[in-house]
Amino acid sequence: MQDHIDDTWAPLNYVPDLSGSGRPTGSKSWVDDVDARRLTAYRVLHSYSNNTRRYWHPNALWAGKVENFDGMIRLNEGEASNWREYGDANLLVNTARALILGEDQSIEFPELEDGQEPGPTEQWLLDWAVRERFTQKLLQGEETTCGVGDGVYALGVNVGKKRPVLRVYDPGFYFPDTTTVVDGWVEDDFAPIVHIAWEEDDTQGVTWVVRHTWQMTPLEVPRAAPWGGDAQTWACLYRHVRYRVDAMLDNATVYSPEISRQSGTVVVQDWTDLLVDFIPVVHVPNTPDEWGKSILLSVGQILDDMQGTDTDLSGGAQTSGSPMLVTSAPVNGLTGRPGEQLGQATASWTDTSKNLVALTGYLEKLTERLAQNSRLSQALLGQVQPNEVPSGTALSLGFHPARQLMREARTVRDEKYPLILRFAMRLAQAAGWLPAGPTPAAVVTLGASLPADLAEAVATVKDLLPAHAISTQTAVRILVRAGLPIEDAAAEVDRIKQESYDAAVKLVEATGNAAAAAQMLGVPPVTTTGLAE
């Protein structure tokens, strides 16, 4: 047995920088060994989406070869220099993101009754989402959530704008401190200290570590919260500091109280009480794990094989055709042009195009395996033409793995996205920009994403609705999922009912036949037997 690290990123152990148990090369000194592996895995996964995977190949594949051709010495480029990457990984990420987020994203309030108008707090949140480009930032965040496995959103207080601001961070900047003990902290699911940190160079070429820190601390005297409920017993403190890398303390990491000597430390904002009892940083994993699993994690080697095959196809295409093969002594100046005299030599033609056919067939098999193992169907990846689908039932069955993937991913988002909305409202209340009062429940509703057979959906509704096998509301939902442009399912049901009632009244007025109207509405007719004259 070969020793190896078996963790979330173990499927990437075939990459040399992640294959050993030691510290990955190129890791920053202020990042500890555990995070160094996580950050390296993020960089590898990023490289797949950015078509830069070849830069992680072993150095031997980059080394050039000195070759002798009839006395002429030349240096050939390494194999990795000719590596072909055609965006297959990025297609997977974008397809998964579209599948999870759906065609539209909207903020809804479950506690509001049908037809009830949003109150001032709800309307403030809707306006805030527009000003903060909430939908666009979800799209931006899901690029990394699907691509590398994790997404990070942080809310800050902007006094100039007089509202909380939402920022999306690369998960490689996210460092939750789960080892530092804070007396009294018992929330195992949430770290009491969270850092957002990265390294950057200033205009003078000095390298700095920029660190934003949120830390929970117990209050000596509990205080009332503007959103009501139990009194606050904890406070969230925020600090922003810059540390010079060339002044770093020995063995300091991002989790150390201070990273560099005092002479190399610049405090941008010292500890500030945010007047809330939570850390306004939301980590969204792609899967229900401590660290999420990327959509690319389990299919990385398939992508490598596809890129290798594309590289072979590109090289083979340059020599395909029917080159001349000399079968006796070579003849000086032989070019193979029509009408050329071969002298004493003999030659024949060889067909190399069959190699391309074999490689193309192998690539097709790899593409099928990629769709199968990623749980993104070939239809979603654009590999099946609409006229090739035998029926709506076959289409629906083909989407079953993708539907499972979508449900699992949305389960995580259903828990995390509402935190962003609740944190935004409570930060605004703490700052006085939003009136005090209970925080309303708010959720992010993700729209339909899987294509459906509209004709089959209409036929299903036509058969089941008159037989009272489904309700009108269920029928409308079926039609919405099939792609009909219905913006509000509940409002559509109300309109259908109103139209049915109006039609029934007109039928009675025109014919006097109440039984026919009852049949139209799907209710039993009224009987009058036994009434006295």
Highest mean pLDDT among 52-56, 320-324, 525-529: 52-56
The overall average pLDDT reported for the chain is: 83
Tokens of 42: 């993020």
Task: Give the pLDDT mean for 235-246.
Answer: 97
Q: Determine the pLDDT at residue 499.
A: 59
Q: Determine the pLDDT at residue 21.
A: 74
Smallest Cα–Cα separation from 254: which of 176, 352, 338? 176
Task: Look at 213-222, 433-442, 451-460 and tell me which has the smallest mean pLDDT.
Answer: 451-460
Residue with the bigger pLDDT between 49 and 455: it is 49
- Residue 176: its H or E element: strand 174-177
Q: Determine the pLDDT at residue 385.
A: 53
Rounded Cα distance between 274 and 429, Å, is 11
In which band, very low, low, confident or very high, does the pLDDT at 532 lie, cut at 50, 70 and 90?
very low
Residue with the bigger pLDDT between 172 and 2: it is 172
Residue with the bigger pLDDT between 391 and 166: it is 166
What predicted TM-score, i.e. pTM, was given to this entire model? 0.80
Percent of the chain clearing pLDDT 90 (strictly above): 52
Task: Look at 28-32, 82-86, 258-262, 350-354 and tell me which has the smallest mean pLDDT.
Answer: 350-354
Rounded Cα distance between 529 and 518, Å, is 17
DSSP 8-class letter at 149: S
In which band, very low, low, confident or very high, does the pLDDT at 450 lie, cut at 50, 70 and 90?
confident
149, pLDDT greater than 80: yes
Q: Determine the pLDDT at residue 533.
A: 41
On the CB side of 467, CA atoms within 13 Å amount to: 7
Residue with the bigger pLDDT between 184 and 457: it is 184
Q: Determine the pLDDT at residue 66.
A: 57
Instruction: Return the C-alpha torsion angle 313, 318, 320, 322, nearest 10.
Output: -170
Residue with the bigger pLDDT between 503 and 386: it is 503
In which band, very low, low, confident or very high, does the pLDDT at 520 lie, cut at 50, 70 and 90?
low
Tokens of 228: 């009501």
Task: Look at 172-181, 270-279, 314-323 and tell me which has the smallest mean pLDDT.
Answer: 314-323
Q: Determine the pLDDT at residue 380.
A: 76
Residue with the bigger pLDDT between 512 and 12: it is 12
Quick one: CA dihedral 13, 16, 22, 28, positive or negative?
negative
